[in-house]
A and B are shown apart, each in its own frame.
Chain A
Amino acid sequence: MKRNTIKLSTLLGENITSRSSLQILCNILKSNDVIDMSDIVFISRSVADELCYFEESYNIMFVGMSDFTRKMLSLVRKNRNKPRKRQEQDSKFVVCDDIETLLSVVSSI
C-alpha cells in the first residue's frame, strides 16, 4: 500500500508550539499517511500530544525525527494514558480582604 507523505516543516515551519496550528495538518491528513518530521527543530508538549492523537486516530507513521522531537513524542506517548502522579507542594495561602492588608502582605512575603 502506498502511503502519502506530508512534510510537516513545509506546512508549519521548523518550530511548532501551538496545538491549534496543527489544524492545517488535520484538514489534509488521511489514514496511514506518513508525517515527515525532518527539519522540525522544536515541538511543544502540547503539539506532541496532538501528534500522538493523530498517530492513534489515523494510524500514521513519523519519519525523519530529530533527537529532540523523538524524545518529546516518546515522553508524551509514555504518559498519555497513565493517571497523573501529582505532588502537592507545601504552600501558604493568604486572603487579603482590603488593599491595606494586600500591600502589607506583599511587602512582607
Chain B
Amino acid sequence: MSEVIIPNVTRDDRIGSVFNHLFRIIAESEKLEGKVLWNFQDVHFFHPFFVFPFSLYRYELSNKKNVECKGMNDVVQSYFSTIKFFDFMDLREIGDFNNVLKCYKEKSYTPICRFSLSDKNIERMQSIIKDVILQQIKLPINIESHLSYMLGEFVCNMEEHSQGKYGYIFSQYLKKEKSLYLCLADDGISIYSSYIFKEKHLDKIDEYESSALRLAKAGYSSKDRPEAENRGYGISTNSNLLVKGFGGAFFILSGGAFHREEAENNIFIELPKSIRWNGTIILMKIPLSEAKNVNLYKYMER
C-alpha cells in the first residue's frame, strides 16, 4: 500500500510556508484510493502553524477515507494526545471546559479547541482561552485587550459569515522567539462564497477567489448597511495591528486562495483548482518583545 511520508516541519520561515509541506501531503493523499497511510518516522516536532491545519485536514480526510498513522515516536504521540490532535477539545459544558483547561496554564500551548458556532457560551469560551494564553506567556506586559480584540473579531466573523458548524482555536507560545502563534479556523463557506451568497460587491470580484480576500482585507463587508460602510473592520484592522503594530505576520487561507502579509511582503495567491480548503484558516505570529508599546486604538480606526 502506498504511504505518505510526513516531513518533520519545525519551521515557518515566512508565515504560511508550512503549507508548502501540507499542500504536498494533500496532493499525495488525495491520489490514494480508500486507505491512506501516513508515516511519521521522520517526525520529532511540528511547528504550531503546521500542526493546526494538519489536524484539521486529517479530520476532514478521515470523513472520506480510512486514515492510518504509523511510525510515531512516544514524544510525538504524547504531544498529539495533549493537544488533542486526533479528537479536539470540544466545548461542551463551560464548567468542564474551564476545569480541563486549568492544566494547560503551566504549558506553552493550548489544546486544539473546537466550538459550535451556534453555541451560546462562545463569549465565555473565548474569555477562558484568552486567560490561559495570558498565563502561559508570563511576561510583564498587558496585551489582554489586544488578544480579546483579535479573538473577538475573528470569531465574530466565523459566526456572522462562515455558515460553518464549528470554529477552532489553537495557540502556542515559543519562548525562545518571544512570540505567540495564534491559529483560528472555521469549516464553513469561504470568504469568496460569502460574497457570492450575499450578492455583495460582485462588481469587485472576478473569477479568482483571491479577489475576495483582497476585498475582505480592504474592509468591504458582505453585511454593510445600505447607507453606510460600518462593517468589515475585523480582518483589515487586525492585520494592521499585527503587522504594523506588533511587527508580526498574518496569513489567511480561504477556499481557493491565500494571502500573506509581513513587513516587506504582501501577496495574494490563487491555488490550482485541484486544491481547495473547506472553510477559512487564519494564522497570526505575534512578537511580544515590543508588545507594551502597541497602541490598540491606533489600529482599530483604520
Contacts and interface: CB of A to CB of B under 8 A. Distances in A.
B297 A71 contact: yes
B17 interface: yes
Nearest to B147: A42
A20 B167 CA distance: 15
Interface residues of B, number: 56
B8 interface: no
Most buried by B among A81, A99, A101, A107: A99
Contacts of A72: 300
Nearest to B131: A15
Interface in A24-75: 42, 44-47, 49, 68, 71-72, 75
B231 interface: yes
Interface of B: 14, 16-17, 19-20, 23-24, 27, 120, 122-124, 126-127, 130, 144-145, 148-149, 151-153, 155-156, 159-160, 208, 210, 214, 217-219, 227-234, 237, 260, 265-272, 274-275, 297, 300-302
Given A18-B152, A46-B231, A95-B208, 17 more contacts: A15-B130, A17-B148, A18-B122, A18-B156, A20-B159, A44-B148, A44-B156, A49-B230, A71-B297, A89-B266, A95-B270, A99-B274, A101-B272, A102-B271, A103-B23, A106-B16, A106-B20
24 contacts: A17-B148, A17-B153, A18-B123, A42-B152, A46-B152, A68-B145, A84-B219, A86-B218, A89-B217, A91-B267, A93-B214, A93-B268, A94-B267, A94-B268, A94-B270, A96-B269, A96-B270, A96-B271, A98-B272, A102-B271, A105-B269, A106-B16, A106-B269, A109-B14
